[in-house]
Structures are given as C-alpha cells and as structure tokens.
C-alpha cells in the first residue's frame, strides 16, 4: 500500500504509466524531430481520459480531483514535455478558467469538448508588454450593446496554432488597473482573431506556441467568464492549479532522469569499475532522490488541500518553485553523469535538459513564485 495515495490513485498511476511507456515513449524521437504531435496521439491521450482527470464528472471530467491530476501528470512527464503541455494549455488553463469562473451555460457549452479534446483550448494572458506583470495587460475590451469589442495582442500562447477555443483576458476599465480585467471565451472562427506563426523554441518541440492578435473582435457579452472586472482574480486562481500541475510534471521528469542516471552509473565503466562506485556520482544521485521525494510530497500536499477546498496560492507557488528548480539541477546532473553521451541528440537526455529550462519561466518565473510566497507571508504574519 502507498502510504500517501489512496488505492484508486495508485491504480490510476499504474495505468497512466503503462500508457505512457507503451504508447507515448516510442514516439518521443519522432515528435521531437518533426516538432509536431500527431492528432492520433492527442486522441489516444483523450481516450485515456487524460484531458479531464482533475475535473468533476458533471462537467465531463474523470473526477479524480487535483491530487489525481497531479499523480497522472507525474507519469506523463516520463516522455516529451510537449505532450502534457498540450493538455496543460487546453484543459489545465483554458478549461480551468471556464470551470472556475462559469457561468454554467459556458461550462456546459465548452467543458465537455475541452475535456475530451474534441476541442483544443488556449489561455491568453501574457502580452508583449505584460509577462510577469500580467495585471498591466493592455488588450482592451469596450462594451458595445450586447457585445464587447476587443483589441490587442497576446504573446507566447500555448496551443494557439491548433486551438479551437481561447480564454482571453482584456481590460474593460483601464482606470481600475487589474480590477478592470475581464475574461472571455472566444472561438477561433470569431472575426478579427488572427494567430501568428508558430514560435521556434529551445525545447518543448511538438507543443505549438504563437502570438494572437485581436482587431475589433466582437465577442457576445454572454461569453464573459465571471463578472466584469473579475478576470484577473480568475486568471490567478487558474494559475494556482496550473502551477501544481507544472510542479507535478517537474517531479516526474526529474524522477525519470534520476532512474536513467542510476542505470547509466551502474553500467558505465571507467578506471575499471562502474562510475557509480565514485562518491562524487553517488552524492549527485542521493541529492536528486532526496529533493524529488520532498518535491513530490509538496505537490501532493498542495493538491490534497485544493481537493479539500483550500486556497493553495502559497503552497502551489512553493511546490512550483521547489520542483522546477530541482528539475533544473537534476537535468544538469543527468547530462554530467552521462558524460559526452548526455550532450548527444542520440539520447533523450539532451532533449529533457532543454525541455527542463521552460519550467522556471512559464506560469510565473521562479522570481515571481518567490514574490507570491513572500507577499502571502508578509501579509499573514
């Protein structure tokens, strides 16, 4: 018995791991080289229920809660980061914003499709001039009768080239600052919406990212998520959940790298003995194992609290900060332990090293996680 997880989540963990090892891992090189995830792979992940894991059954989810979601995401991290990134951008961010903010007719209209991947979603918060300081976004929403007219641009939007549905944050009252921001569900076919070319990235190959432009785009007022001015609060609550998922993914990626390091250290012989016989190597492995264990417990703790209805802003930020920084260290150690082979494209370690770099940047950089944690600390003490 697993001391931390209930039996049903241990079963989920096993079935996702089997699926990942059997169906996704063999496609890793192809996805990396072609920089594309075949639609059939997205469909297979959807059939496994991976898009709806953390959502309630009444909106089309699997009902495993945030803990179940994190447990599964950890296993998904055993292959290319891009695969989960599609789920994270679609169900994880776009779907969660709709779920958290409602209203019910938008939840009913969009969630079943997003959680089964019949539609792919994207989450448009960041702008060229508003990244870490997302509350200063400039995209404007002007009320015009029963609609809003939206003008502006979003940058680095995951899934934008393949998305059917966008959650777009725009300010309807600049004088109110971030309290003037509202959130809208926008369908791709909406007039005035334009998606730029797919960005070329260091890693995450297969996951698409692009700019999105809005030119006098009319969106019915009924597509507003939550009240006018509530958009930024919805964005931040969505990111609490997103950060837990990212932390879980970092834990799984680090775990997979550690396993590869242990195997390599035991089989690679230099100076007439396995390199694992050297204390310098043993300590790298020990540090990685210890930190991964700590990060996993932080993720499970944050997710369990979220499932109990607690607000987890601080815990999610701590888990994301700790887990993603640790992944950076483990990925670096993995290249080091694999020596020259760790630097070669022939081995997936090189890809994992590049993929690992993004975790400390998106959904709030490490510096911003520290800002979130210290702001909570100073306000509550």
* Interface with ligand FAD (CB under 6 A), residue from 51, 64, 110, 123: 123
Strand boundaries in the chain, DSSP class E = 121-124, 140-144, 147-158, 165-171, 181-187, 193-195, 209-220, 224-225, 269-270, 273-274
Q: Quick one: which segment of 40-48, 330-338, 341-349, 361-369 binds ligand FAD (CB under 6 A)? A: 361-369
121 binds ligand FAD (CB under 6 A): no
**Which residue, 47 or 367, is less far from ligand FAD as judged by CB?**
367
Of 63, 254, 51, 89, the closest CA to residue 166 belongs to 89
SS3 3: coil
**What's the burial of 5, exposed, middle or buried (CB within 10 Å: 0-12/13-18/19+)?**
middle
Phi, psi torsion values for 324, nearest 5 degrees: -75, -35
Of 252, 246, 347, 357, the closest CA to residue 296 belongs to 252
181 binds ligand FAD (CB under 6 A): no
363 binds ligand FAD (CB under 6 A): yes
What are the residues facing 68 on neighbouring strands? none
- Taking the CA of residue 117 as centre, how many other CA atoms within 13 Å lie in the half-sphere pointing to its CB? 23
Residue 172 · residue 228 · CB < 8 Å: yes
Residues in contact with ligand FAD, shown as a per-residue x/- string from 201 to 240 under the rule CB under 6 A:
x--x----x-------------------------------
Cα angle 373, 255, 308 (rounded to 5 degrees) comes to 45
Shortest spacing between CB 158 and ligand FAD, in angstroms: 3
**Which residue, 64 or 156, is less far from ligand FAD as judged by CB?**
156
**Which residue, 248 or 261, is less far from ligand FAD as judged by CB?**
248
SS3 372: helix
**Which residue, 161 or 342, is less far from ligand FAD as judged by CB?**
161
321 binds ligand FAD (CB under 6 A): no
Shortest spacing between CB 156 and ligand FAD, in angstroms: 4
Residues in contact with ligand FAD, shown as a per-residue x/- string from 151 to 170 under the rule CB under 6 A:
-----xxx------------
Shortest spacing between CB 340 and ligand FAD, in angstroms: 28
Q: Which residues are catalytic?
A: 363
Shortest spacing between CB 131 and ligand FAD, in angstroms: 2
First-to-last CA distance in the chain?
Answer: 39
List interacting residues with ligand FAD (CB under 6 A): 89, 123-126, 131-132, 156-158, 201, 204, 209, 358, 361-365, 367-368, 371
């Amino acid at each position: 018995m697993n001391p931390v997880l209930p039996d049903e989540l241990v079963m989920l963990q096993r079935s996702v791991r089997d699926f990942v090892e059997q169906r996704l891992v063999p496609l890793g090189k192809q996805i990396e080289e072609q920089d594309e995830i075949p639609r059939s792979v997205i469909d297979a992940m959807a059939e496994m229920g991976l898009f709806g894991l953390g959502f309630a059954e009444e909106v089309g989810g699997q009902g495993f809660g945030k803990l179940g979601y994190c447990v599964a995401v950890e296993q998904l991290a055993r292959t290319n980061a891009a695969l989960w990134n599609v789920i994270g951008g679609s169900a994880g961010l776009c779907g969660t914003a709709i779920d958290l903010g409602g209203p019910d007719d938008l939840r009913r209209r969009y969630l079943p499709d997003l959680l089964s991947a019949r539609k792919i979603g994207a989450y448009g918060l960041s702008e060229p001039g508003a990244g870490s300081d997302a509350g200063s976004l400039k995209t404007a929403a002007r009320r015009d009768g029963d609609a809003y007219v939206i003008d502006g641009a979003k940058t680095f939007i995951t899934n934008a080239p393949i998305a059917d549905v966008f959650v777009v944050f725009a300010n309807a009252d600049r004088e109110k600052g971030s309290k003037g921001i509202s959130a809208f569900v926008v369908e791709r076919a909406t007039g005035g919406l334009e998606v730029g070319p797919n960005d070329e990235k260091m890693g995450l190959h297969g996951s698409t990212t692009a700019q999105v432009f809005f030119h006098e785009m009319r969106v019915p007022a009924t597509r507003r998520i939550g009240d006018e001015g509530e958009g930024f609060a919805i964005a931040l609550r969505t990111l609490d959940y997103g950060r837990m998922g990212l932390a879980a993914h970092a834990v799984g990626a680090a775990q997979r790298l550690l396993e590869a390091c242990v195997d390599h250290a035991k089989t690679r012989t230099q100076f007439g003995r396995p390199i694992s016989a050297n204390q310098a190597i043993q300590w790298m492995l020990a540090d990685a194992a210890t930190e991964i264990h700590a990060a996993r417990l932080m993720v499970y703790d944050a997710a369990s609290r979220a499932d109990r209805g607690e607000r987890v802003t601080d815990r999610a930020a701590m888990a994301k900060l700790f887990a993603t920084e640790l992944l950076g260290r483990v990925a670096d150690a993995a290249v080091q332990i694999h020596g020259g082979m760790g630097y070669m494209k022939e081995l997936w370690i090189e890809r994992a090293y590049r993929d690992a770099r993004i975790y400390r940047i998106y959904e709030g950089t490490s510096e911003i996680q520290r800002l979130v944690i210290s702001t909570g600390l100073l306000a509550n003490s």
